[in-house]
Every structure is written in structure tokens, then in C-alpha cells.
Chain A
């Protein structure tokens, strides 16, 4: 580096035994950037020339097919995805909190159970859990017919709780010790301290990773497919697949995909906002 600088200061007076002209730092940066843009333009041009655009358009952006999906894709599919996700998240979050507290319990068996649960359900494909809830529960408990919503809530919640429990546990442990000491010194019992001081702060700390889990859960709700459903119960993925069977175009897949983004992108924005609002108070004492 130093050598280069020296060279750029006296480029013309370079020693004759070095015939190769060295570039200055600025020149080199310009060349590198130029090459990168060149490659980009080349790739774009090659793709543009070699692609059959009308065909791509028919395959992915067939407006007629897309139009036929409305309004059901919103009123049924998107709505169901949101409902299933919300049910699963509510149940999963509650279960995760219990598991996180068990993980931190002073009673050994609680810790072992939580540990085992988390390892077990984190390691299984969510699909297996759906199959188990869908087919296993009626087999294991004859006569029990799970309401579809209950089955979905259980399956989604059981899986997501395993992930969220670890996140919440980390959040609880990230609350500064001084907060607990202050609460205890005011005469608050361990339980009151946990409820009023630690858990509220833990949730603020884990808001970003928890949003991440919610986004994953939104996508996992597509597994509702394996619990069987009538038309009115279809969520986005299933709805898209069915529309795909009727249309000779991949457009339904694209529409369904965009609908997922309608859910997940606002979630990210909301999370960022909450993080900014709450984040300043936590962990930045003094």
C-alpha cells in the first residue's frame, strides 16, 4: 500500500528498471469498478437477448389468470393464512414462555423436559408434526375429532414454541441483574419480579428475533395443506396450487407469493418501529 502511494506521488519519475506502469490507487479503483459494471451489463444483455419474453410473460405474468384469482385469493386464502398464523403464534408464544421458564427453573425435571421438548421439535420437520396431529391424534384418542382450527393451532404452536422458547430464554437472561436486584430490594417476590420487571423487558429485547419466528411461522402455515381442507379453508399456498392446476401458467404461484410478502414485509416494518421505540430504554442504563 505504502509503495503504491509513493508511486502515485511520482509516477513519471519511476525507475527505468520497472517498465510496467503501476496504477495509482484511484486509477485502480476506477478500473475495478468499471470491470464490475461491464460484467453486469454483459450478463443483462445476454439474458435479455436469449430470453423468450412473451413466453415468460405467459408463464408468470398472465394478467387474465391473475385476475381470475381475485377476490378469493384475498378474501379466502390470505385471510386464512393470517388466521392460521395468528392462532399458531398465540398458542406457540404462550407455550414458549412456559417452556422458557421451565428451562430456567431450579427444579431439574422441568429443565430436562423443556430441554427435551425443544431439541425434539426443533429437530423434526414441521410436516411430520402436522401429519402426527392430523392422523395420529384420532388414532391415539379414538372418537376425538379435532376441530380443524384447533388442530392447526396445535401443530403450528407445538413447532414454533420450540424455536421461540430458546429466544425468550435468551431474552430473560439478557435482562440486567441489577433490574432483578432492584425489584427484590423493594420487596417484590421472585414471581412478581419475573412478571412485572423481567418478562416485559425480555420481550422488548427479543422483539426482532421473535418477528423472525413469526415470519417463519407465516410460511409454515402452508402446511395446513396436510390437514385437508375444503375450498373455504384454503390458505395461500394451497389456493395457489389449485389455481395452478386450472391455469396453464405459473402466475398463481407468483400471486400467492406476493400475498405472503403483503404479510411479512409490514411485519418487518412494524418490528423495526417497535424496536426503535422500545429499544432505547433497555440495556442502555446509565
Chain B
């Protein structure tokens, strides 16, 4: 297996605040890696460094053999192959669902309108929203918007999908639809890097889980180990809080 993503000694600071303190990680082609950890641990920053929406302070990010941290790299060309799904959906508010899916295909990949619409329809059907093709983002529920956002990313035929807490902004009853689409993607062999709080999803879908805290990867491995039998105290504390939030913190 080749590495789809390689992260080498990645550091990121916002002013005096050091958010990432030396991350080493890799994602193999076809692998689903979930990043879990308490808020403020740097999970989202790590993800945003992978497509360089956030410029790392130091360290290297290599995606599909291309070093994205090289200042001379064609970052737009590299991002075409990296789909990203945001916590806040970020659908283009001025465009219909169809145009949201076709605009980058047409303006970036230079596909014809017909070809772009064909791809868009296929991906909308895939996320179960074929009938919403002419709707406006504001007319959709959060779960529908997020599925459109996934379809938008897929329309660029990405080799890697990044998910930044894709269900955190959703009402609980809408989470399942989005996770269902993501599970389907994983089953189809998409390489995925997912920042999430959904432990059930991580446990069932992920090939590997990274537990982050304080800007470092504390523990990494298959979900059965990291979530099932964590070896680190910090991991245990976090999981106890997340999986059993009603109970008292055992350490406190």
C-alpha cells in the first residue's frame, strides 16, 4: 500500500499559541483514518493543514506524492484531488444545488456544462438528494446541506476526502444520513481522513484511529485498540467522558 497522505513533524502556531506540536502520521490509499480527541487538541487544524487551508509553521505534508508544503507547489492543482467537507457545510449561498456541484468542475476542470451536470446528478443520487437539484442551499436542512457538500466534493473525482467534524453542526436525528453516506464512501474504497466526535462511526468504519490531545498524537492504532483498549491515561479519560458523559469523571 502506498501512502496517500504523509505528515512529517508538523508544527502549527497561531501567534504564541502552539496548536500542533510535532505530528507524524500517514494515511494509506483506501484507508479510513478517524481523528478523535478533546476540543482544542488541534484535530481540525491538522486536517486543515493537509490541504494547506492552514499554512503549517514547519514540517511537511505530502499528498499523493506531492509535497504541499513546498512554496512552489501548484496548490490549486493539488487541491483538486483533495475533497473537503466542513463542519459548517459552506455551500455557495448564491448558487443552486446543481450549480454548487458544477461550478468548480466547469471553472477548474474545464468540463462542459453537460458533462459537469451528468457528474453532479450521479453524485446527488448517490447521497440521496437527486430531487433537490434545483433547490437553494437555504431551503435544505442541515443534513441535506452536508450531503450536498459531500456530493460537491465528490464531483471533482478526489483521491482523498477530508471531513472536518461533518456532523457536529447537525441536529441529532440528521446525523445518521450523513454518516450513512460516509460509510458508503468508505465501503467503496475512498481514502478518508475524518475528524469526528462520533465514536460509533470511528469504531465501525475506521481502519485506524488517531487520538490527539494537546497538539500531539497520543495514541494511534485500530479502533478496537484505541477505543476498545486504550493504553494511555489521557485516552481513557477522554473516552470515559465521551462514551459515558452522565457519569462522574473517574479521575476527578
A residues neighboring B (CB under 8 Å)? 176, 178-179, 181-189, 192, 196-197, 200-201, 204, 278, 280-286
Complex alpha-carbon distance, A216 and B10, angstroms: 55
User: Is B93's CB under 8 angstroms from A179's CB?
Assistant: yes
User: Is A196's CB under 8 angstroms from B103's CB?
Assistant: yes
User: Is B53's CB under 8 angstroms from A186's CB?
Assistant: no
User: Is A285's CB under 8 angstroms from B90's CB?
Assistant: yes
Q: Among A189, A196, A282, point to the contact of B93 (Cβ < 8 A).
A: A282
User: Is B92's CB under 8 angstroms from A185's CB?
Assistant: no
Known interface pairs A200-B94, A285-B89. Does A185 touch B142 (Cβ–Cβ under 8 Å)?
no
User: Is B90's CB under 8 angstroms from A181's CB?
Assistant: yes
> Within 8 Å of chain A (Cβ to Cβ): is B127?
no
Residues of A within 8 A of B169 (CB): 286
Complex alpha-carbon distance, A176 and B88, angstroms: 11
Nearest-neighbor residue (CB-CB) of A279 within chain B = B138
Q: In chain B between 53 and 101, which residues have their CB closer than 8 angstroms to a CB of chain A?
A: 53, 76-80, 82-84, 86, 88-94
Q: Among A178, A192, A196, A280, point to the contact of B90 (Cβ < 8 A).
A: A178
Nearest-neighbor residue (CB-CB) of A280 within chain B = B138
Residues of A within 8 A of B136 (CB): 280-281
Nearest-neighbor residue (CB-CB) of A180 within chain B = B90
> Within 8 Å of chain A (Cβ to Cβ): is B242?
no
Complex alpha-carbon distance, A284 and B137, angstroms: 10
Q: How large is the interface on B (under 10, 10 to 19, 20 to 34, 35 or more residues)?
A: 20 to 34
Q: Among B82, B83, B104, B138, point to the contact of A183 (Cβ < 8 A).
A: B104
User: Is B93's CB under 8 angstroms from A285's CB?
Assistant: yes
Q: Among B77, B82, B88, B138, point to the contact of A185 (Cβ < 8 A).
A: B82
User: Is A186's CB under 8 angstroms from B137's CB?
Assistant: no
User: Is B90's CB under 8 angstroms from A186's CB?
Assistant: no
* Most chain A CB neighbours (cut-off 10 Å) among B91, B107, B169: B107
Q: In chain B between 39 and 61, which residues have their CB closer than 8 angstroms to a CB of chain A?
A: 51, 53
Q: Among B79, B83, B145, B149, point to the contact of A184 (Cβ < 8 A).
A: B79
Residues of A within 8 A of B77 (CB): 187
* Most chain B CB neighbours (cut-off 10 Å) among A182, A186, A192, A201: A186
10 A-B pairs with C-beta separation under 8 A = A183-B104, A185-B82, A186-B108, A186-B153, A278-B94, A280-B138, A281-B93, A285-B89, A285-B91, A286-B89
Nearest-neighbor residue (CB-CB) of A189 within chain B = B76
Residues of B within 8 A of A185 (CB): 51, 53, 79, 82-84, 153
**Closest chain A CB from B33 CB (angstroms):** 18
Q: Among B53, B84, B91, B104, point to the contact of A188 (Cβ < 8 A).
A: B104
Residues of B within 8 A of A192 (CB): 107-108
> Within 8 Å of chain A (Cβ to Cβ): is B152?
yes
Residues of B within 8 A of A176 (CB): 90
User: Is A282's CB under 8 angstroms from B104's CB?
Assistant: no
Complex alpha-carbon distance, A186 and B116, angstroms: 14
**Closest chain A CB from B242 CB (angstroms):** 24
Residues of B within 8 A of A183 (CB): 92, 104
**Closest chain A CB from B126 CB (angstroms):** 18
Nearest-neighbor residue (CB-CB) of A190 within chain B = B76
User: Is A181's CB under 8 angstroms from B107's CB?
Assistant: no
**Closest chain B CB from A97 CB (angstroms):** 17
User: Is B104's CB under 8 angstroms from A186's CB?
Assistant: yes
User: Is B93's CB under 8 angstroms from A181's CB?
Assistant: no
Residues of A within 8 A of B142 (CB): 286
> Within 8 Å of chain A (Cβ to Cβ): is B156?
yes
Complex alpha-carbon distance, A186 and B101, angstroms: 10
Residues of A within 8 A of B84 (CB): 182, 185
**Closest chain B CB from A190 CB (angstroms):** 9
The 4 A-B pairs with the shortest beta carbon distances in the complex, nearest first, are: A187-B80, A186-B104, A182-B90, A178-B90
Interface readout for B111-155 with A: 1 if CB under 8 Å, 0 if not? 000000000000000000000000011100010010001001100
User: Is A187's CB under 8 angstroms from B88's CB?
Assistant: no
**Closest chain B CB from A285 CB (angstroms):** 6
Residues of B within 8 A of A187 (CB): 76-80, 104, 108, 156
Residues of B within 8 A of A281 (CB): 93-94, 136-138
Residues of A within 8 A of B83 (CB): 185
**Closest chain B CB from A219 CB (angstroms):** 31
Complex alpha-carbon distance, A178 and B86, angstroms: 8
**Closest chain A CB from B120 CB (angstroms):** 13
Complex alpha-carbon distance, A286 and B171, angstroms: 11
Known interface pairs A188-B76, A196-B103. Does A285 touch B156 (Cβ–Cβ under 8 Å)?
no
